[in-house]
Amino acid sequence: MEADVLKLLRLNSMREATGLSRATIYSRVQAGLLPKPIKHGERISVWPSNEIDAITKATIAGKSSDEIRALVSDLQRQRADA
């Protein structure tokens, strides 16, 4: 069995993964519906693919906005603990 490989998604990859525009991605970050990006250089921001996968699965499962905000908060807390 292959080990899970953590991928870091730049904005264009995030747009492809979510189907959302740049403006909507950042709007959802501000609303707590997507995690904040990680600075990966002076001018590069990225999102861990596992976090986006978890949010996508929750959305598909019909979770409410409040449930997704709680998930995003938990994912960001896990980042800090890593």
| pTM of the shown model | 0.88
Domain chopping of the chain, boundaries: 8-81
pLDDT score of 48 = 96
Task: Give the separation between CA 2 and CA 43, rounded to whole angstroms.
Answer: 32
Q: What does each C-alpha distance from 32 to 8, 16, 41, 82 come to in angstroms?
A: 19, 20, 23, 20
Predicted confidence band of residue 61 (pLDDT cuts 50, 70, 90): very high
Q: Does residue 21 register a pLDDT over 90?
A: yes
pLDDT digits (tens, 9 = 90+) for 29-51: 999 999 999 999 999 999 999 99
Predicted confidence band of residue 82 (pLDDT cuts 50, 70, 90): confident
Measured distance between the N- and C-terminal CA atoms of the chain, rounded to whole angstroms: 24
Q: Helix, strand or coil for residue 10?
A: coil
Q: Does residue 1 register a pLDDT over 60?
A: no
